[in-house]
Structure 1
Amino acid sequence: MNRIPVGVLGATGTVGQRFVQLLAEHPWFEVAVVTGSDRTVGRPYGEGVNWLMPGRVPARTAELIVQPTDTDLDLPGNPPVVFSALPTGEAKEWEPRFAAAGYAVVTNTSVFRMNPTVPLLIPEINPDHTCLIPTQRAENNWPGFIVASPNCSTTSAILPLKVFQEAFGVEAAMITTLQAISGAGYPGVSSMDIYDNVVPYIGGEDEKLENEPTKLLGDVRDGRMIRAGIAVSAQANRVPVVDGHLASVSVRLGRRATPDEAIAALRDWRPPAICAQLPSSPQELLIYRDEPDRPQPRRDRDAGDGLAWTVGKVRACPVLDVRYVALTHNTLRGAASGALLNAELLAVQGYIGN
């Protein structure tokens, strides 16, 4: 297929840079427009960006002139596609403007995740939720639309919950996360705060962990979002690990299951068939480790090119029913790569690239 020209909003930040890096060799998309801060506008991207990714700035993107964030971007497509890595305040203002101007906005930001007409997507979990897009367009009178990725900490915990929901039903979960410092962006957490320490607070994170799973695991009926009736209690912690969010989760099931039955469900689960068409989706999406000390961030975060879930320690829970530990790479599966998968899903489903 011809590569689809796309824009990256907020391309000079850390998530924006990750988008640029991932899109450089993507078989379906190519970066045609980048936007950035006032400091970088009007300069070649390669000169203006403080590049923090491994290697060099991709050569073609390095030559692009950084544009101000505005809806008059010279970007072809029906609809034109932009990936948003904007800061929260700018995203709240600009993402609806882009949708109203006819763009498909694939966002990594948190602003519209819980909006009932905005699909909160992980293609391997809820690809059917894109059917909210016609409702979103109709209610807002937008020719374009917004789709969102979940929070990186939610992502780390969610896939085993999906498997258990399908196999046994899920009524409640208690989630404790150990989150990498890269999740705080750059320059992130002060070394004096995180070295030899654990910080048991990440602003807004507990609430995201308690709300987003109910949307990801819900249903869309007649164009309306019906959130799953699952009670979630969450506590988020920042730990001195560079990359990789680890979630420790206890679950009350709809029907009782032994740990062996739960492990069998994880091993037997397969993603929806449409995911085989997504070039970035890993062949082995869910990896179950039998070792008593796995998963570990340093050893497991890069599984499936940073896009797989590694799960272990499924045991009986003396308070609820079963418990497990799950790990994902927070800046890949939990951020830019997850949003890129959403765009691939939109292309396969015909929402972009026509």
Structure 2
Amino acid sequence: MSISVALLAATGMVGQKVIALLQNSSHFKITELAASERCIGKEYNKVCEWREPLIPLPVYVGAMKLKPVTEVVSEFVISCLPSDVAEEVEFKLSSGGKIIFSNAAAFRMHKNVPLLIPEINFSHLSLLKQQKTLGKIITNPNCAAVGAALALAPLMSLGTIEHVSIITLQSTSGAGYPGVSSLDLIGNVIPYIEDEASKITEEIKKILGGVNTYADFTVTTNVFRVPVLYGHFITLHVKFKHSIATKTAMEEYNNWNAKFDDLFVFHEREDRPQPIRDLTHDDMRVHIGHLKHGETNDILSLVVLSHNLVRGAAGAVIANMNAYLRFM
């Protein structure tokens, strides 16, 4: 039987992607939708401007009436709420026994809350035992931190990482809808996203650390908003204590692919990966290109592309729900 799921902030871009990805799920079924006060009591298809390009709005979801976020009854709750709202609502719902799978930043860095990417840190689910509420909160990372952390995780077995330099080129959909003004972004690049650099820096160290410890390498992060619809691009420069062969790095990525069903896609062409050519609408993969040495052989350089609404948001919470079922 499918598990009933309530979706909070259902009309936003991440909420819509959750609906699209779960439409044929055999494990989970959306049975409740919640949104802002102005939408309560209205049918979803009357208030949501559906923006999924390839998947029509499921009829049964479109006919659902939206309810207040505090009145959901399903045990499993996917939260796509803004962080300032999530802090109060998610705690209240978890105190009442709900299992919250949150895309919000409100609890990501709390010491007893898993910041989960199941392929990397499944063991961090043990932190749930330290949460005192009747229910639980599990978070997925920032939409750019996900791609960077996944690309870094296999490299950690190759030697001691001393420093990671991260440069992100983040798509407009990462800002939600309506996002960044077209007058600001068309034909332009904005070298600032509020709080983004610090989120990426700290979240990566929590994800790649132990259950109660952070990774001990240093991180420098710069972030840019670019006029691309979907897909976050990341350039990584990884400084090791000793020299690392690129062949060894590739072998380790292939080892992870054997464990996690082609998690990484490698692009040999100089002009790839590209968001418009290489990302699919349900893409949970991490695309990697330009794997090479830096100026010295103790530096590995690579570019990383991931789908910010799928691997970085909606797909991530669904992966975390599946991980929770395995953990329990």
* Counterpart-to-counterpart distance in 2, 1:292 and 1:62: 43
Structure 1 residue 123 corresponds to structure 2 residue 123: no
* Counterpart-to-counterpart distance in 2, 1:269 and 1:32: 35
Moved more, 163-172 or 145-154: 163-172
The corresponding residue for 2:295 is 318
**What do residues 213-271 of structure 1 show as CA deviations (whole Å, max 9, x unaligned)?**
10110111xxxx21110200000001111111110010012432122222232233347
* Counterpart-to-counterpart distance in 1, 2:20 and 2:251: 37
| Contact 2:158/2:244 (8 A) holds in 1 | no
Mapping of residues 260-299 of structure 1, within 5 Å: 260-270=247-257, 283-299=261-277
**Structure 1 stretches of 4+ moved >4 Å:** none
Report SS of the residue matched to 2:73.
coil
* Counterpart-to-counterpart distance in 1, 2:205 and 2:307: 22
Structure 1 residue 189 corresponds to structure 2 residue 166: no
* Counterpart-to-counterpart distance in 2, 1:254 and 1:144: 43
Report SS of the residue matched to 1:125.
helix
Q: What amino acid does structure 2 have at the position aligned with 1:235?
A: N
* Counterpart-to-counterpart distance in 1, 2:280 and 2:56: 20
| Contact 1:306/1:332 (8 A) holds in 2 | yes
* Counterpart-to-counterpart distance in 2, 1:322 and 1:180: 25
Sequence identity (%): 34
**What do residues 91-140 of structure 1 show as CA deviations (whole Å, max 9, x unaligned)?**
0110111111100000001111111111001111111110110012xxxx
**What do residues 164-197 of structure 1 show as CA deviations (whole Å, max 9, x unaligned)?**
1022232210000111111011011111111111
* Counterpart-to-counterpart distance in 2, 1:204 and 1:271: 36
Structure 1 residue 16 corresponds to structure 2 residue 15: yes
The corresponding residue for 2:129 is 134
Mapping of residues 139-218 of structure 1, within 5 Å: 141-218=132-209
The corresponding residue for 1:31 is 30
* Counterpart-to-counterpart distance in 2, 1:20 and 1:259: 40
Moved more, 158-167 or 96-105: 158-167
* Counterpart-to-counterpart distance in 1, 2:20 and 2:169: 26
Q: What amino acid does structure 2 have at the position aligned with 1:159?
A: L
The corresponding residue for 2:313 is 335
Q: What amino acid does structure 1 have at the position aligned with 2:157?
A: E
The corresponding residue for 1:234 is 221
| Contact 1:39/1:48 (8 A) holds in 2 | no
Report SS of the residue matched to 1:22.
helix
Q: Which runs of 5+ in 1 are unaligned?
A: 276-282
* Counterpart-to-counterpart distance in 2, 1:13 and 1:316: 41
Structure 1 residue 251 corresponds to structure 2 residue 228: no
* Counterpart-to-counterpart distance in 1, 2:236 and 2:83: 28
**What do residues 257-297 of structure 1 show as CA deviations (whole Å, max 9, x unaligned)?**
1222222322333475xx6xxxxxxx311112222222222
Report SS of the residue matched to 1:124.
helix
* Counterpart-to-counterpart distance in 2, 1:230 and 1:165: 10
The corresponding residue for 1:3 is 2
* Counterpart-to-counterpart distance in 2, 1:30 and 1:254: 48
Q: What amino acid does structure 2 have at the position aligned with 1:310?
A: H
The corresponding residue for 2:41 is 42
Among 308, 314, 318, the residue aligned to 2:285: 308
* Counterpart-to-counterpart distance in 2, 1:125 and 1:114: 17
Moved more, 116-125 or 258-267: 258-267
Report SS of the residue matched to 2:120.
coil
| Contact 1:266/1:288 (8 A) holds in 2 | no
The corresponding residue for 1:278 is none
User: C-alpha displacement at 1:19, in angstroms?
Assistant: 1.5
State the TM-score, normalizing by the size of structure 1.
0.88
State the TM-score, normalizing by the size of structure 2.
0.95
Moved more, 321-330 or 44-53: 44-53
| Contact 2:256/2:263 (8 A) holds in 1 | no
The corresponding residue for 1:280 is none
The corresponding residue for 2:67 is 67
User: C-alpha displacement at 1:327, in angstroms?
Assistant: 0.6
| Contact 1:8/1:35 (8 A) holds in 2 | yes
* Counterpart-to-counterpart distance in 2, 1:58 and 1:109: 25
* Counterpart-to-counterpart distance in 1, 2:250 and 2:17: 34
Aligned residues: 326
| Contact 1:45/1:66 (8 A) holds in 2 | yes
Report SS of the residue matched to 1:246.
strand
